[in-house]
Amino acid sequence: MNAGWTSVSVKSIAIRTIPSCHVIQPPQPSTIHSRHRGWLLVTRSFHLFIALYLAAWAYIYQALPPSSVRAAQIYAPSISSIALVTLSLLFVHAACGCSVRRSNIKRRRKASRWVTTTVSQACLALISDLGSTEEGRDMVAVVFNIAQVASQSLRVVKLAENLVSPVHLVIYASLLIVYALASPAALFHRNATIKGTIVNVLDFAFGFTLSCCIPAIGVVVLFAAGPNAIQGQDNAWYTRLVTLSRMAVVSSPVDFVCQVCMHLGTYVSLTRLQHSIAAHPRHRSKILIASDSTLRRLTKQLVPSKRTTRRAVVVNAVLTGTWGFVLTGLVVRAVAFREICPSHCTLAATPLFDLSCSCLYANVNCHVLQTQDVDALLDPVTIGTRILVLQLARCDVPRGIDTATLAPHQALIRLAVLFSHMTQWDATLPASVGSVNIRFSHLDDVPSVLTTTPPPYLSFLHIDSTPLWTIDVTCFGAWPHLERLVLTNVSLATFPEAIATLSLLYDLNLRANNLTTVPMTWQFQTTTSNTFRSARFNGNQLEAGPWTMVRPDVLVDVSSNPISSAASGVDIPSATTKRQLVLDDTPLCRDSPGLGCTPSLCAPGCYGYMQRDYHCDPVCWNQACSYDGGDCDGMGFDHV
């Protein structure tokens, strides 16, 4: 009997040395299977979440208007979108593919029949052999660890130059520092299984948090804190949005490589973690090493020895650990020992290698600051050269801002000059400027800074409360990229028909002029556009509204016009209820109580959308209109 048992045992052992899918595995408790299935579900859920996250950003790259693409500095939107979609498909494949154990079995079947006669077969064999040894896995972990730390470090430098909150920088850098110290240390663990699990968990946790969670949370919190739908007119909020967008998007070739490396690192670590869960060590069979003698020699050369691997692990720990301590010192130095910015610098960045003031949003009010020396207030020595948004209010600048004053600020994207005595402006704006706002000046013509030498990608122009009377046709030819045009209270008597040449225009505001008609040809033109969404003609002399423009997803405001009736084909009650049409303070509104409009305003010329819109409007600066909802609080006006 003993001999028989011995014979059976030997045969059983001989059979089990052959990697085959018919090997009978020892039974596992149901609790272990349930736990493995649960963890597999978690890893696949992460795969799907990251895939959706990357796909969402790819869609955003394509859906954003050109002005937003330029403001966020998105690098090659089409190429970046393709890269993000490709990465997204990788995560989808990992989440929805077949179980790891089945795929391993299929590979083992193929491995037993391998005859390495092609390059592709040789590559597959080499990859399998490299991953089948502890030394190979450690070397792969070292390479990915260095790549992740390097990529995230470049991102930290970029974030420091853009983020307006030092707290956010400290959080991001602290996570990177912890990862740079902890991940290399895990490679010194003697148990290969535990070491692999710890390394994969650390790589995934930190990669996922730094590359996905923090940008996503930042965007969600920023929009959740936004007070209303016109929050983009708040300069402080807009500055935060731009800087946060530049943190999340691909903004340069180097950033492109960094982000691809980060997401690939997350994919590899999560996939390896998923494999380690699905294929429990007790059930793994050894992967056959290819039988070809040439391939065996290549394998022996490529798979590192224990001594080489040990040296690589030590070097990795020394390099990343040293960089972790250096980065700690740089962050502490940048946050604690920085020069204080002047009071008119509302938001500033925290560059790691520059301790001077790096202002991002400058709110200059000469009346509040009790000085009219604009050149000194914008001196790059005291305020830096990184300004993104500049608002100049109540400053005596009859000839505008000089070219020399603005020349150092080549990052400027939004410029506002409010309540000035400007009569002309002959200068050259930085090429980066995309938005210009001139309100309450003494101009009698569009200044040459916007016509002769306009910024090449001007997308938003707002001129308010100055007697222009007419606008030359050639002006519109200088603004081919204009998306939003606001010409309010500028004494226009006729509709500027050259507006029809602005092919990208989606928002037009001609409030408080003397218009009597809106050309029918332009009305029809807007109906053929899928992007046009808003037209305001309130406070004019229109007796017939632009009824052709009234349709879903487009706002038409004709408040305070002498309109007493509507065209027969327009469903006025439905349009006013859905806020597609605004008829406040019109005879039609007063004579039709059921339309759902406001028969009178809090003050002449103060419309509902003008309050709490982050634009100071003197017509709303009174008690009846709640002092413009606080929009003029920073201007230094006295309450009346």
pLDDT tens profile 139-187: 878 888 888 899 899 989 999 998 898 998 999 999 999 999 988 888 8
Judge whether 281 lies within some domain.
yes
Encode 117-150: b = buried (16+ Cβ within 10 Å), e = exposed.
eeeebbebbbebbbebbebbbbbebbebbbbbbb
Which pLDDT score, from 0 to 100, does residue 29 have?
53
Mean pLDDT throughout 1-17? 43
Q: Provide the phi-psi class of 305: left if phi over 0, else alpha when psi is between -120 and 50, else beta.
A: beta
How far apart, in Å, are the Cα atoms of 42 and each of 37, 39, 81, 277? 9, 5, 27, 11
Judge whether 112 lies within some domain.
yes
For residue 6, pLDDT over 50 is answered with no
Judge whether 497 lies within some domain.
no
> Can you give the pTM of this predicted structure?
0.84
First to last CA, the chain: 111
Query: What residues form DSSP beta bridges with 347?
Result: 361
Mean pLDDT throughout 209-216? 86
Q: Which two tokens stand for residue 207?
A: 């990669």
DSSP string, 309-338: HHHHHHHHHHHHHHHHHHHHHHHHHHHHSP
Which structural domain, as residue segments, surrounds residue 614? 601-640
Question: What gap in Å lies between CA 372 and CA 331, rounded to an integer?
Answer: 37
| Bridging pattern class, strands 435-439 and 414-418 | parallel
For residue 20, pLDDT over 60 is answered with no
Q: Which two tokens stand for residue 96?
A: 């929805």
Q: What percent of the chain lies above the pLDDT cut of 90?
A: 56
Judge whether 321 lies within some domain.
yes
Instruction: Report the domain count for the chain.
Output: 2
Among 83-92, 116-125, 243-252, which range has the highest average pLDDT?
A: 83-92
How far apart, in Å, are the Cα atoms of 170 and each of 66, 79, 239, 245, 331? 33, 32, 20, 18, 7
Q: What radius of gyration, in Å, describes the C-alpha atoms of the chain?
A: 33
Higher pLDDT, 188 or 468: 468
Judge whether 618 lies within some domain.
yes
Q: Which two tokens stand for residue 546?
A: 């632009």
Judge whether 288 lies within some domain.
yes
Per-residue pLDDT band at 482 (split at 50, 70, 90): very high
Which pLDDT score, from 0 to 100, does residue 97 have?
64
Judge whether 290 lies within some domain.
yes
For residue 342, pLDDT over 80 is answered with yes
Which pLDDT score, from 0 to 100, does residue 23 have?
46
Encode 499-532: b = buried (16+ Cβ within 10 Å), e = exposed.
beebebbbbbbbbbbebeebeeebbebbeeeeeb
Question: What gap in Å lies between CA 317 and CA 61, rounded to an integer?
Answer: 38
For residue 219, pLDDT over 90 is answered with no
**Residue 598, exposed/middle/buried by CB under 10 A (0-12, 13-18, 19+)?**
middle
Which pLDDT score, from 0 to 100, does residue 567 have?
84
* Amino acid making up residue 434: G
Cβ–Cβ under 8 Å, residues 245 and 72: yes
Considering 335, 350, 371, which residue would you say is the last residue of a domain?
335
Judge whether 410 lies within some domain.
no
Considering 318, 335, 352, which residue would you say is the last residue of a domain?
335
- Which three-class secondary structure state does DSSP give residue 440? coil
- φ/ψ of 544, rounded to 5, equals -125, 125
Say what angle helices 235-248 and 214-224 make with each other, to 10 degrees: 160
Considering 304, 319, 335, which residue would you say is the last residue of a domain?
335
Which pLDDT score, from 0 to 100, does residue 481 have?
95
Cβ–Cβ under 8 Å, residues 49 and 263: no
Per-residue pLDDT band at 108 (split at 50, 70, 90): very low
How far apart, in Å, are the Cα atoms of 63 and each of 66, 70, 89, 92, 291? 9, 13, 20, 22, 53
Q: CA 447 from chain center: how many Å?
A: 34
Q: Which two tokens stand for residue 390?
A: 């500049």
DSSP string, 143-165: HHHHHHHHHHHHHHHHHHTT-S-
Q: Residue 395 contacts by C-beta under 8 Å, 6 or more apart in sequence?
A: 364, 365, 366, 372, 374, 417, 420
Higher pLDDT, 350 or 102: 350
Which pLDDT score, from 0 to 100, does residue 193 have?
76
What does the pLDDT look like over 294-338, one tens digit per residue? 555 555 555 667 788 788 889 989 999 999 999 999 999 999 999
Which pLDDT score, from 0 to 100, does residue 192 have?
75
Higher pLDDT, 472 or 111: 472
